[in-house]
Amino acid sequence: YTVWISDRDEQTDTDFELEAGGNRLAFQVTEVQTPGRRRGDEYRHRAVGSWTEEDWTPGSESGPRWIRDAIEKKAKRYSQSESLNLLVYLNFPAWDQQYVDVAREAAGPASAFQSVWLLNGNALCHVKAHPSLPSIGGWLMISESLAQ
């Protein structure tokens, strides 16, 4: 596999391309955060040396809906979404994300794309597969280290 990223800031629908099975697949990337969270606020407003307690319950209970909403938003934004693949970065705390629940919730809006992949801190899955990419059928755990 080869990843192609433009070194120019071209405002196109494609964030990167993945070459797989003789095909170059156009990908769009989006991120899902806890609703209302603003990136970096935790660091700006936290006292040096203090700890912040997070409640992981909202992400565990509502994560599949947040994922669905993010996919729907991207599908509505791109009129040519059927020619795009989508990579969704899950950047919210959760105790558990059951693949079956996430896949069921996201299936409708995922149908607007060629494929939809989810990436969190330690796992990858697809809720809609692409024939040029391996089907992994659930969460694929990612090793914590590249040095193996």
Judged by DSSP in three states, 110 sits in helix
Handedness of CA 53, 58, 15, 100 (dihedral sign): positive
Give one word for 109, left, alpha or beta, with left for phi > 0 and alpha for psi -120 to 50: alpha
What tens digit of pLDDT does each residue of 57-71 get?
A: 989 999 999 999 999
What tens-digit pLDDT sequence spans the chain (148 residues)? 899 998 887 778 899 999 998 899 999 999 999 998 877 766 666 666 666 678 889 899 999 999 999 999 999 998 888 999 999 999 999 988 899 999 999 999 999 999 999 999 889 999 999 999 999 989 999 887 656 5
Instruction: Please report, for residues 19, 23, 113, the alpha-carbon distance to residue 32 in angstroms, rounded to integers and kept in the order given.
Output: 25, 28, 17
